[in-house]
Amino acid sequence: MKDLFWGMAGADWALLGGGIAAILGGIGSAIGITAASSAIAGIVSEDGEKFGKLLPLAAMPGTQGIYGFIAAVLVLIFFNLLSGEIDIPAAIGFKIFLACMPVSFLCLVSAIYQGLTAAAAAGIVARRSEDSGKALIFPALVETYAVLALIVTILMLTVLQTALTKM
Amino acid sequence: MRVPLFKTVYDAVYYGFAVGKVRVLETRIFGGGTYERLVDAPSFAEQKRILSDTVYGRYLENAENADEVEAGLETALDDFYRFLAEANLPEPVVRFFRVRYDYANLRAVLKARALGAPLEGMIVGLGIVPVAAFEGPAERLPAYLAKVAAALVDEDGRIAGVEAIDATVEQAAFADLVETARSSKSRALRDLARLMVDVANARAAIRARRRSRPASDLAEGLLKGGTLRIRDVEKIYALPFAEFVDALASMPTLRGVDADALADPSALDVVLDNMISQFLRRARAVQFGPEPVIAYVMAREAEVTAVRTLLIGRLAGLDRDALRSRLRELYV
């Protein structure tokens, strides 16, 4: 009889978790970058020399999409899904899914807020170019929590990989 | 249910480009230093030279007399209002800024006809209605203006007196502003319209009380749409002037306003206009939404007024002290 958890096999849960991490991180980054870029484009349209100083602010919310992508790739690598061996017990698969949730939701929310913070910080650069370093700090603070979520997800996936190896 | 994050993200994306532009453009709004240089400039030519490096340079490069200065600054103001539309602000926000000029033009037309004076140079092209429309019969104006004009003309075609024209047109203009702000669905604009009505009502009430005009006159003159409750003002109107001003200053709408300043005729306009300045300062601090754009355009309006005062004052031969005192009346 096939091993299922809530009607889904272990590999299905693992792929769903990895997929959600990549999707939500990407959505958050897209929204965050759009929010920051709208304001930055307005500033650059009036003062093109500030482009270089503003570009890091626009790019910053993009990291959450990368974290989601990393989580998804780790799921594929840690649990041998790339090799086609998809023999994951359903209970472990569900736990892999849960392990992907911290990075998924935190990246979604933190990327949006980071985009808003970056848009506000761009106002600092608009007024005083020399404060561009200071302006970078505020959105960088938001990044911390996305990084912590990625670390938590990686640790959880590592534990689950070890557990699966011992089975 | 309104989710604040959704609205914030929407505002950040929808108004982001305009707010970004404003963040740069507002750094170019004149500070005290530029005004001081304009006051100290020994001639109109020197004032023009100072302005040549600013946004006003291209509007004033060929101006040699007061009419040309007026025309140049009118074009500058027109471009500032155009920015509202370019900035994706809803149509009612643009109307809010422009419709005031339609009412001002209507007032000029009606007064000119009442007094039999020429209309030349009295109409400004900053409104929604084209200037040419004001040169024809009032019935052909858009309905919102024709209605006001009709109310001021009797059955025999006689136009009401100048005071009645002022009062009726002002009532209609403020009612239109309040309604336009309401339809804009912008909380900032609604608050601004309410504040403008409150400031106008407070000014009217204090002046009427100082002149000991009857309470019935006051009730007719007060504008609707503000937070200052007309009934409350009527209740305190019978008090002696000093107590009336104290009571007015203690009302929630005017909280924080110095009662002594309200009682002082020379400080009244400044203290009431400061209420609008405070509103604009708060609006500029908003990060996402139409508020910074509205505050920027209003700051430019004030700047145009100051520049006009200084240039035309200098052309009229006013000295530095006279110019400085006129500027102080605008910006204390």
pLDDT value, residue A144: 95
CATH classification at residue A58: 1.20.120.610
Q: Does residue A47 lie in a domain region?
A: yes
Q: Does residue A5 lie in a domain region?
A: no
CATH for the B7-80+290-332 domain, from 1.10.132.50, 3.30.830.10, 3.40.1390.40, 3.40.50.300? 1.10.132.50
The predicted model gives A137-143 an average pLDDT of: 95
Residues of B in contact with A47 (CB under 8 A): 24
pLDDT value, residue B332: 39
> Least CA distance to A111: which residue of chain B?
B9
Between A155 and B234, whose confidence is greater? A155
C-beta atoms of A38 and B20 within 8 A: yes
Q: How confident is the model at residue A32 (pLDDT cuts 50, 70, 90)?
A: very high
Q: Does residue A2 lie in a domain region?
A: no
Helical H runs in chain B? 4-14, 16-25, 32-40, 44-51, 57-60, 66-86, 91-115, 143-151, 162-184, 187-210, 215-221, 230-236, 241-249, 259-263, 265-285, 291-315, 320-330
Give the C-alpha distances (Å, rounded to integers) separating B254 from B175, B209, B210, B225, B235.
21, 17, 18, 16, 16
For B170-181, what is each residue's pLDDT tens digit?
Answer: 999 999 999 999
pLDDT value, residue A5: 84
Q: Does residue A3 lie in a domain region?
A: no
Q: Does residue A48 lie in a domain region?
A: yes
Q: Does residue A100 lie in a domain region?
A: yes
Q: What is the dihedral of CA B100, B80, B297, B77, to 10 degrees?
A: -50
> Least CA distance to B27: which residue of chain A?
A127
Residue of A43, A116, A127 with shortest CB distance to B12: A116
| Structural fold of domain B187-285 | V-type ATP synthase subunit C fold (1.20.1690)
Residues of A in contact with B22 (CB under 8 A): 42
Q: How far is B272 from chain A (nearest CA, A)?
A: 30
For A81-105, what is each residue's pLDDT tens digit?
Answer: 888 877 889 999 999 999 999 999 9
Tokens 């929204």, located at residue = A31
Q: Determine contact: A102 vs chain B, CB below 8 A.
A: no
pLDDT value, residue B253: 85
Q: Are A122 and A43 in contact (CB under 8 A)?
A: yes
C-beta atoms of B13 and A123 within 8 A: no
Q: Does residue A110 lie in a domain region?
A: yes
Strands (E) across A33-132 are located at none
> Least CA distance to A40: which residue of chain B?
B20
> Which range, of A7-16, A150-159, B98-107, B204-213, averages the lowest pLDDT?
B204-213
C-beta atoms of B17 and A45 within 8 A: yes
Domain boundaries, chain B: 7-80+290-332, 91-185, 187-285
Residue B134: which of B159, B160, B103 has the closest Cα?
B103
For residue A81, what are the domain limits?
Answer: 10-166
pLDDT value, residue A158: 96
Task: Tell me how far apart the alpha carbons of residues A39 and A37 are, in angstroms, rounded to a whole number.
Answer: 5
Task: Tell me how far apart the alpha carbons of residues B85 and A30 are, in angstroms, rounded to a whole number.
Answer: 27
For A37-75, what is each residue's pLDDT tens digit?
Answer: 999 999 999 999 999 999 999 999 999 999 999 999 999
> Least CA distance to A34: which residue of chain B?
B13
Residues of B in contact with A61 (CB under 8 A): none
Give the C-alpha distances (Å, rounded to integers) separating B171 from B103, B112, B138, B159, B167.
10, 19, 18, 17, 6
Q: Any bridge partners for residue B159, and if so which?
A: B153
C-beta atoms of A122 and B25 within 8 A: no
> B23: how many CB neighbours lie within 10 A of its CB?
27
Q: Which residues of chain B have pLDDT under 70?
A: 1-3, 328-332
Q: Does residue A1 lie in a domain region?
A: no
Total number of domains in chain A: 1
Give the C-alpha distances (Å, rounded to integers) separating B5 from A33, A110, B118.
15, 12, 56
